[in-house]
Chains A and B, each alone.
Chain A
Amino acid sequence: MKQNEWFEATSRIAAQYITEAKPKHLRESGLSVDSKALLAEELAEKPAEAVRQSRITRWVTTGFATAAAVAIVVTGGVLISRVRGKVPAVLNSGTSDVTTVQTETGTSADSFQQGHDAGAEAARAAIAAGKDKVIFSGTVTDKVVGIYEDQLDSDMKYVLLGTDSRIIHVSRALADSLTTGKTYRFTIDEQVIEADPFNIKIDNIRFPFRSAEEVSEEGASDNYTFRRAEMDDQAPAEYISGYQEGYRDVIMNQNPEYDNYRLEGTLTCYIRDIIDPELKPNDPEYADYARCTVVAESPEHSSFFCVAYPYRQKAELVRDQIMTFGYTPKGPDETGDFRYTLKRFEDEVIDPAYFLPMFDTVSTEQVKPVITWNRLQLIPASESAGTTVTEGTSETTETTSVSGQTAETRIWVQGDHPYGWSDWSFFRSGNELHLEQLNETKTNPHSAQLNGSSVLTHFQKSNKIGTPYTNDIPAYDGETQFILKDGQIVSKDGSRILMTGIRPAVTQHFSLYSVEKFSNDCWFVRMTEGWENGGGWVNEYWCDGKGRSVKISIECTPGYTVIPSEDKSCVYYADEWGIFRVNRFASSAEKIVDDTALKQLSINESYLGTENAAIKNGIMYIPFRSSNAANCTGKVVTVNLNGDKTPRVIDIPLSFMVECGGRIYGIKDDHSFVEYLPETGSFREVADIRKAGAAAAKDAKGTAEKEYLNAFAEEGIVWRPVAVWDDLVILEIPVGESVNYAAVSPATGNVQLLFF
């Protein structure tokens, strides 16, 4: 049989089977539909009164959102349409004050090839199908001068924002003739479409940083002033840094040249260049890649990165698609704003018209990725301090009261969970310890004391029903329990918002992992991001406590946990690529130890990660392990963070090291909890997990419990510390197929085994 016969046959598969096999993972349908105009037109042709009287307004902002862009340019009285990729539906048409703007033949037929896009194609198709025109209409809500006279077409000066956030470009003359609040109808015919000049893709732009008057007064300038503006964290931004791909990026880096200032925000722009010169107008990717962003890196990176990304779908980006722009920081002017001269490549001054900082692009769940354009923001350091923090209130869990006076730590376990991940959370209230687990079926935790001396007076585990990524389990910053809810990290009582704009892609799920308070205006937040059926990663964010946040771009896998510096001014992480520092509110890491320096230590075969590392007196200790588990190698890398940062290896047989109450502890020989004395390089044994197991087994009441504790005594290997307070360390100890814990008091050496 032939293909079409099979096609026909499979088309008749029963509805029940179609529904049964409904895919869970959907392709991202991208953005608005080019043929929306056709749909609108068809609907408009319907005689039904309901159609005539109703609107399709929500088309644009819901179903077909973000990139609604119709640019209509009048050149010397000749209307030239730019039916850019996403044509919005007819809005608010059919009213009595609709004015039809007659169109005439365009002036540059050849330029259509340059400006080919799907929207134009759709309009052409409509005309080819017998329609004699394509109609767009909308209510003029504002007229904003957004483009300098000499930076684009000499006659394109006004941007009008319609009620649907649609942008219409017209000449100054035409714009002057239009009345705000009135609805106009633009008719475009084939000639107009053919006359489409090069593309400029402008979507939902607001120009919050300049009023029309400002532009008029200043005129064109090589210098571009980025004024302060509120950051908008409501929506994630697609960004790229190297090969990384993400959903949101706001760059906030320390400015080394201006210590009193902090650079915040992201300058993100569209440029009209087609990034990939190999792409031809007829290539389907053409329209996708025509959309570019410029991401302003911090001054210390000395460049802007211009990136192109496929707009309709998330896709891999390659480094070659990154264009680099230089700039010259001139420092803050008298108003406190920061001036840049943007330069393309080396010397060519970028026409600021290429930089159309955008803000508040329409955000919908339907359209992903959603892009928010944040702006560079320079804030005097004095302004950034002193954020008022609402004190957290006492929380009540299902099992016990948590007073909130001590810290909580969440651990992240990858194991045999049906979803591939488990989510656990420890809460501590005095000498009570509570462990919350998600979807955990085991019950009845036991605790056994060593030498009759309790570390904890109470240990209880509670189970949560739910799925990972839905985040029933809160994260606790020592004062407030936070949960992930409705795309925000909020306190459980809803009184505080720590972070907003968490909008995963269709197949992604977010889960709150940890919240660490660094100061009254700085939180370090980790979220797991992955797929429903397992797999994922951990992403880190800085939050200022007022809902604003910065995503940190760290190219490392989960397990390479990030540890804070002693003064909480930054965090560090290490992996095979080096050792990195991320300053507060910085979006990217600064490499402080190169991987070549690590390789010279001849420990290539070992596993290096900061999850087992400790910092004390400016020295970072990173034990090397032979695998991802403990497996002590006896080698520890040390780095003087305040000194030359040269990595050195010292022989310390510790599989992890942790700072606790001002002292450094570690696990020696995989089961002995010891204090490390850097001054002498010696150890002091504090407790021994296996001895604890053996001692507890002697007092065990039941046979099963005795056997279990004996196994604990024989097989117990400490994998890692999972929760650390000044007076208490919780160690993770797998025995058999179970993950168990031990509570250790560093001060007394008392151990309490916590097992299930």
Chain B
Amino acid sequence: MNDDAIIALYEARDEAALVQTQEKFGGYCYTIVYNILGNSQDAEECVNDMLIKLWNAIPPAKPDNLYAYVAATSRNLARNRWTGAHRQRRSSGEAEIALDELVSMPAASDDVEREVDGHALGDALNSFLGTISEEHRKIFVQRYWYFMPVEDIAEDLNITKSKVTVTLMRTRKKLQTYLEQEGYL
């Protein structure tokens, strides 16, 4: 079923929308949230929460890109759960490792850092991603948005693990340079 049809089901308050969403996007959502949470039960609940979110959100929301909407919703839910778990030091997902890679990027100063809010940095990230090759962008997004393990990225893109690792390292350096040039760091 295409995305428009699924959205129409939501708008008609037809619970088949949930089934269709689950069938079409459940695997993706599970992958996303599992990568973040590293726990199957949490991930399953998160997917479920996502469905409830969609049910509550559509309508009035009418996403242009349902996949991205569903994926982002899942990720946000997982992030919230991750944040909670993180406080209790119970997180074991890939997000921890991936974010550490980004955190390890040297910054200009603490003062500047505090000036950079997530929104602005997000905009900068998107601008930056537009400057790099599609393959590098995929690797970057898979690692830092999907929080996919390096091995999974390599398998997914049919490249070697070392290529993924090296590409990530170079992309992080480029990103740092870019953020410095743009005045974010």
Q: Which residues of B lie under 8 Å from residue A287 when comparing CB positions?
A: 41
**Interface pair B14/A50, CB less than 8 Å apart:** yes
Is A681 in contact with chain B by the CB < 8 A criterion?
no
Q: Which residues of chain A have C-beta atoms less than 8 A from B121's C-beta?
A: 1, 5-6, 8-9, 12
- Minimal beta-carbon separation of A123 from chain B (angstroms): 12
Interchain CB contact under 8 A, A43 and B145: no
Q: Which chain A positions have C-beta within 8 A of B48?
A: 33, 35-36, 38-39
Determine the chain B residues whose CB is within 8 A of the CB of A26 once the complex forms: 27-28, 30-31
Q: Which of A9, A20, A287 has the most CB of B within 10 A?
A: A9
A59 to B48, CA, bound (A): 12
What is the minimal beta-carbon distance from B52 to any residue of chain A, in angstroms? 5
Contact between B156 and A23, CB atoms less than 8 A apart: yes
B155 contacts chain A at the CB level, 8 A cutoff: yes
Tell yes or no: B178 within 8 A of A by CB: no
In the complex, are the beta carbons of A18 and B99 less than 8 A apart? no
Q: Does A21 contact B (CB under 8 A)?
A: yes
Interface string of B1-28 (1 = CB under 8 A from A): 0000000000011111011001100111
A residues near B75, Cβ cutoff 8 Å: 11
Is the CB of A284 closer than 8 A to any CB of chain B?
yes
Q: Indicate whether B71 reaches chain A with its CB closer than 8 angstroms.
A: yes
The listed residue (B86, B129, B158) touching A17 by CB distance below 8 A is: B129
- Residues 57-76 of B at the A interface (beta carbon under 8 Å): 64-65, 67-69, 71-72, 75-76
Contacting residues, chain A, for B96 (C-beta < 8 A):
3
Contacts of B95 in A (CB 8 A): 7
Residue of B nearest to A12 (CB): B122
Query: Does B165 make an interface contact (CB < 8 A)?
Result: no
Q: Are A43 and B55 in contact (CB under 8 A)?
A: yes
- Are A11 and B13 interface neighbours, CB within 8 A? no
Nearest-Cβ distance from residue A199 to partner chain B, whole angstroms:
15
The complex places the Cα of A9 from the Cα of B116 at a distance, in Å, of 10
- Given contacts A22-B28, A56-B18, whether A17 and B126 have CB atoms under 8 Å apart is yes
Q: Which of chain A's residues have a CB closer than 8 A to the CB of B22?
A: 62-64, 366
Across-interface contacts of A59 in B (CB, < 8 A): 18-19
Query: Does chain A have a CB within 8 A of B182?
Result: no
A130 to nearest B CB, angstroms? 15
Q: Residue of B at shortest CB range from A20?
A: B138
Alpha-carbon distance A534/B72, docked complex (angstroms) = 31
B28 lies within 8 A of A18 (CB): no
Pick the residue among A9, A18, A25 that contacts B118 (CB under 8 A): A9
B166 at the interface (CB under 8 A from A): no
Chain B contacts for A27, CB-based, 8 A: 27, 30-31, 34-35
Q: How far is the CB of A100 from chain B (nearest CB, A)?
A: 23
Across-interface contacts of B34 in A (CB, < 8 A): 27, 29
> Which residues on the B side are within 8 Å of A19 (C-beta)?
65, 67-68
Contact assessment for A2 and B41 in the assembled complex, using a CB-CB cutoff below 8 Å? no
Taking a contact as CB atoms under 8 Å apart, the answer to whether B79 and A7 are in contact is yes
- B79-121 interface (Cβ within 8 A of A): 79, 82-83, 86, 95-96, 99-100, 102-103, 107, 113, 116-119, 121
Which residue of A8, A13, A34, A366 contacts B126 across the interface (Cβ within 8 Å)?
A13
Known interface pairs A43-B55, A284-B40. Does A11 touch B118 (Cβ–Cβ under 8 Å)?
Answer: yes
Q: Classify chain A's interface size.
A: 35 or more
A residues less than 8 Å from B65 (CB atoms): 15-16, 19
Residues on B with C-beta less than 8 A from A17 are 126, 129, 137, 141, 145
A9 to B72, CA, bound (A): 13
Return chain B residues, CB-CB under 8 Å to A284. Answer: 39-41
| Cβ-defined contact, A10 with B26, below 8 A | no
Q: Is the CB of A23 within 8 A of B152?
A: yes
Asked if A6 and B12 make an inter-chain contact with CB atoms under 8 angstroms apart, the answer reads: no
**Alpha-carbon distance A28/B44, docked complex (angstroms):** 11
In the complex, whether A704 has a CB less than 8 A from a CB of chain B is: no
Question: How close is B146's CB to chain A, nearest CB, in angstroms?
Answer: 6
Whether the pair A2, B103 counts as a contact (CB closer than 8 A) is yes
B45 at the interface (CB under 8 A from A): yes
Q: Does A18 contact B71, Cβ atoms closer than 8 Å?
A: yes
A11, B44: Cβ atoms closer than 8 Å: no
Assess whether A23 is in contact with B126, with CB atoms less than 8 Å apart: no
Measured between beta carbons, the chain B residues less than 8 angstroms from A15 are 64-65, 68-69, 72
Determine the distance from Cα of A24 to Cα of B52 in the docked complex, in whole angstroms: 25
Contact A13 B138 (CB under 8 A): no
List the A side residues contacting B26 at CB < 8 Å.
29, 63, 366
> Which partner residue on chain A sits nearest B34 by CB separation?
A27
- Report how far A6 CA is from B65 CA in the complex, Å: 24
Q: How far is the CB of A237 from chain B (nearest CB, A)?
A: 21
Q: Tell me which residues across on chain B come within 8 A of A29, comparing CB atoms.
A: 26-27, 30-31, 34, 43-44, 47
- Is the C-beta of A121 less than 8 angstroms from some C-beta in chain B? yes
The listed residue with most A CB atoms (<10 A of its CB), out of B44, B95, B144, is B44
Q: Report the bound CA distance from A26 to B125 in whole Å.
A: 25
Alpha-carbon separation in the docked complex, A33 to B99 (Å): 28
Q: A6 near B102 (CB under 8 angstroms)?
A: yes
CB atoms of A10 and B144 under 8 A apart: yes
Cα–Cα distance between A23 and B151 once the two chains are bound (Å):
12
| Any B CB within 8 A of the CB of A614 | no
Q: Which residues of A contact B103 (CB under 8 A)?
A: 1-3, 6
At the interface, yes or no: B150 with Cβ under 8 Å from chain A?
A: no
Q: How far is the CA of A48 from the CA of B15 in the complex (A)?
A: 11
| Partner of B13 from A36, A50, A312 at Cβ < 8 Å | A50
A459 to B160 alpha-carbon distance, docked (Å): 41
Evaluate contact between B142 and A21: CB separation under 8 angstroms.
yes
Query: Does B164 reach chain A (CB closer than 8 Å)?
Result: no
Which residues from B are CB-within-8-Å of A54?
A: 14-15
Query: Is A122 an interface residue, CB under 8 A from the partner?
Result: yes
In the assembled complex, the Cα of A25 lies from the Cα of B31 at a distance in Å of 9
- Interface of chain B residues 122 through 179 with chain A (CB within 8 A): 122-123, 125-126, 129, 134, 137-138, 141-142, 144-146, 148, 152, 155-156, 158
Is A111 located at the chain interface by the 8 A CB criterion?
A: no
Answer whether residue A51 sits at the interface, using C-beta atoms and an 8 A cutoff.
yes
Complex Cα gap A31–B100 (Å): 31
A711 within 8 A of B: no
Complex contact B40–A56 (CB within 8 A):
no
The answer to whether A4 has its CB under 8 Å from any CB of chain B is yes
CA distance A5 to B49 in the complex (A): 23
The answer to whether A506 touches B27, judged by C-beta atoms less than 8 angstroms apart, is yes
Across-interface contacts of A534 in B (CB, < 8 A): 158
Complex Cα gap A29–B12 (Å): 28
Using CB atoms, name the residue of chain B closest to A63: B22
- By a CB distance below 8 angstroms, the chain B residues around A64 are 22
Contact A13 B145 (CB under 8 A): yes
Distance, CA A55 to CA B14, complexed state (A) = 9
Instruction: Mark A321-365 against chain B: 1 for CB-CB distance below 8 A, else 0.
Output: 000000000000000000000000000000000000000000000
Sample of 18 more A-B contacts, CB < 8 Å, known A59-B19, A62-B22, A118-B44 = A1-B103, A3-B99, A6-B99, A9-B118, A9-B121, A10-B102, A11-B72, A12-B125, A18-B67, A23-B28, A29-B47, A30-B44, A38-B48, A50-B12, A62-B19, A63-B26, A366-B22, A366-B23
User: What 4 A-B pairs are tightest by C-beta distance, nearest first?
Assistant: A12-B122, A8-B118, A15-B68, A29-B30
Which A residues have a C-beta under 8 Å from some C-beta of B? 1-30, 33-36, 38-39, 42-43, 46, 48, 50-51, 54-56, 58-59, 62-64, 118, 121-122, 284, 287-288, 312-313, 366, 506, 533-534
- 22 inter-chain pairs at a CB distance below 8 angstroms, sorted by A residue, are A1-B102, A5-B116, A7-B82, A7-B99, A8-B118, A8-B121, A9-B121, A10-B102, A10-B125, A13-B144, A20-B138, A21-B145, A22-B71, A23-B156, A27-B31, A27-B35, A28-B27, A29-B30, A29-B44, A56-B18, A63-B22, A366-B22
